[in-house]
Amino acid sequence: MALTVAAATNWALPATTGQGFGLVVGYVVGMPAGVAVLVRSLDTADAG
């Protein structure tokens, strides 16, 4: 999940910001989203 968000953020930002900045922003946004999806899927399996 984090890699997908990082790649999309890196692609969406203008080229003037630099490639590393897009990857850092993508990881900062993508990691919590990936963890939330994982926790939600594990919680659903336990409740089932």
CB 3 within 8 A of CB 15: no
Residue 8 resides in a domain: yes
Residue 15 resides in a domain: yes
Residue 48 resides in a domain: no
Tally of domains in the chain = 1
Residue 46 resides in a domain: no
Burial class from Cβ neighbours inside 10 Å (0-12, 13-18, 19+) for residue 23 reads: middle
Q: 2-12 and 19-47 are packed helices; what angle lies between their axes, rounded to 10 degrees?
A: 150
Residue 47 resides in a domain: no
pLDDT attached to residue 13? 67
The model's pLDDT over 3-38, given as tens digits with 9 standing for 90+, comes to 777 677 667 766 656 667 767 777 787 778 778 888
Q: Which domain, by its residues, includes 37?
A: 2-41
pLDDT at 40 over 80: yes
